Amino acid sequence: MAFVKKQVDVTPIEDTVFAIVKLAKQAIMEKGEDAVVNATIGSLYGEDGRIVAYDSVFGPYDRIKKEVKAAYAASFTGNESYRKQVYEWVCGDNKLHLAHSVIATAGGSGAVSIAINEMLDEGQTLVIPKIAWGSYALMASMHNVAVTSYELFDGDRFHLRDFERVCREVMEKQHKLLVVINDPCHNPTGYSMSMAEWKQVIGFLNELSALGDVVILNDVAYIDYAYQKDARAYLSVLNEMNAHVMCIVAFSCSKTLTSYGLRCGAALLLAKDAAQVREVEIVFEKMARSLWSNIPNAAMENFTYVTTIGKDAFLQEKQEYVELLRKRSACFIEEAEACALPCYPYKEGFFVTVKMPDNQTRDRFHEALMKQDIYTVKVNTGIRVAICSLPLKKCEGLAKRMKEIYVQV
């Protein structure tokens, strides 16, 4: 007997993160805060061990009239001021000569999910990186879409050859390509591609589009926590996309504003041809209407306020945490280099990932770490260390401790 539809996978979500978070909390209760390293939580936490909630974001939010909070948003695509402001915010100083539209979504997750659902037919294949945010594969599976993956690194660089190989293979099979590029500040490695790498990717995808249409799903969830001065400069390379290539940029207010609970984000559609953008906009609007109807009015209004009138205060407050992330990551990476604990090439962002030769070794290492009260998250051939929530004093000496445990597994 089965009440749910036949095509759906009924195995429960293997929530590796929350299970370990629970264990870490239990260990803290038993042994005290100082005895435990909890590097599991993927949200931004301060040095006081509390989630960061910016005054420059939640001050204005609290001042929004209750009637504005109560009201439905004006449309299924999102409030006009929000849509306009997301475009301005995401593009920054880059002048894009592309047709565009913005659809408000339920977090960055909403943007990624509707893109996977609506750009591929059931049974087609989505291309993602080998080490990636787990939700991509889950979303694909819920939409009856298969997944294949490209090797992310060739040494310390983006593995262009494998990216090309996998994209070509999928394109030859289905004459359509949807490929996820989670950049900048890739989750979970902290890698950001260079301009040259982006140019090569766009050049290749232009060429590949002779065989079928190409959609790049550029997940920029962590873009506002990049250390480089102009993390958005690569967007200008998108001007080189030909008429058969589209880019959907998935933007997350959760990360940018530390407002994870407000469920606000956007899909920014970019392509040469306005008619093509309009077609996707229509489909995404219908999808939004059918899934979440509309996005919290106050969340959109607040984003617009914080990134315009409140911009200076917000940028100043956010920068303090960018600097904190920089300190925490530098501490971990420098110590890892000193003791030869192998890490994936980290440049910026919320996570550092220790490189594992295979998943069996990873599992043993992960267990051994927990025995020493170091709680981390397993990812494909890696151990994710969430420096975003780990106070600096807990980062100190951590790589060395991890290395000592690693040599024993």
Site string for ligand PLP, 183-212 (x = CB under 6 A): ----x-------------------------
Among 78, 184, 265, 349, binds ligand PLP (CB under 6 A): 265
* 181 near ligand PLP, judged by CB under 6 A: no
Quick one: which segment of 12-20, 106-114, 158-166, 374-382 binds ligand PLP (CB under 6 A)?
106-114
* 221 near ligand PLP, judged by CB under 6 A: yes
Q: Which residues neighbour 409 within 8 Å (Cβ) at sequence distance 6 or greater?
A: 361, 364, 365, 368
Nearest approach, Cβ of 187 to ligand PLP (angstroms)?
4
Nearest approach, Cβ of 265 to ligand PLP (angstroms)?
4
User: Could you give the residue ranges of the DSSP H alpha helices within 65-194?
Assistant: 66-70, 80-91, 107-119, 135-142, 160-174
Nearest approach, Cβ of 40 to ligand PLP (angstroms)?
13
60 vs 349 by CB, closer to ligand PLP: 349
252 vs 353 by CB, closer to ligand PLP: 252
Dist. CA 21–CA 367, nearest whole Å: 14
Among 254, 294, 353, 389, binds ligand PLP (CB under 6 A): 254
Q: Tell me if the bond preceding 129 is cis, omega within 30° of 0.
A: no
265 vs 345 by CB, closer to ligand PLP: 265
* 109 near ligand PLP, judged by CB under 6 A: yes
129 vs 310 by CB, closer to ligand PLP: 129
CA triple 246-149-260, angle to 5 deg: 70
- Nearest of 63, 16, 79, 67 to residue 42 by alpha carbon: 16
Helix (H, G, I), strand (E, B) or coil at 315: helix
The number of residues in the chain equals 409
Helix (H, G, I), strand (E, B) or coil at 73: coil
Dist. CA 195–CA 396, nearest whole Å: 33
* 219 near ligand PLP, judged by CB under 6 A: yes
The count of residues interacting with ligand PLP (CB under 6 A) is: 13
Asked if residues 81 and 60 have their Cβ atoms less than 8 Å apart, the reply is no
Q: Token pair for residue 59?
A: 């001050």
Q: Which residues neighbour 18 within 8 Å (Cβ) at sequence distance 6 or greater?
A: none
Dist. CA 356–CA 334, nearest whole Å: 18
Burial (CB < 10 A; 0-12, 13-18, 19+), residue 291, is middle
27 vs 299 by CB, closer to ligand PLP: 299
CA-to-CA dists, residue 369 to 363, 365, 402, angstroms = 10, 6, 7
Quick one: which segment of 1-9, 103-111, 157-165, 170-178 binds ligand PLP (CB under 6 A)?
103-111
Residue nearest to ligand PLP (CB): 107
Binding to ligand PLP (CB under 6 A) within 48-67 occurs at: none
Among 45, 57, 104, 107, binds ligand PLP (CB under 6 A): 107
264 vs 405 by CB, closer to ligand PLP: 264
Dist. CA 350–CA 248, nearest whole Å: 23
Radius of gyration of the chain measured on its C-alpha atoms:
21
Among 252, 258, 353, 389, binds ligand PLP (CB under 6 A): 252
Dist. CA 128–CA 261, nearest whole Å: 26
- Nearest of 99, 75, 180, 80 to residue 133 by alpha carbon: 180
Nearest approach, Cβ of 389 to ligand PLP (angstroms)?
13
* 182 near ligand PLP, judged by CB under 6 A: yes
Site string for ligand PLP, 12-51 (x = CB under 6 A): ------------------------------x---------
Q: Give the interface with ligand PLP as residue ranges (CB under 6 A).
A: 42, 107-109, 133, 182, 187, 219, 221, 252, 254, 260, 265
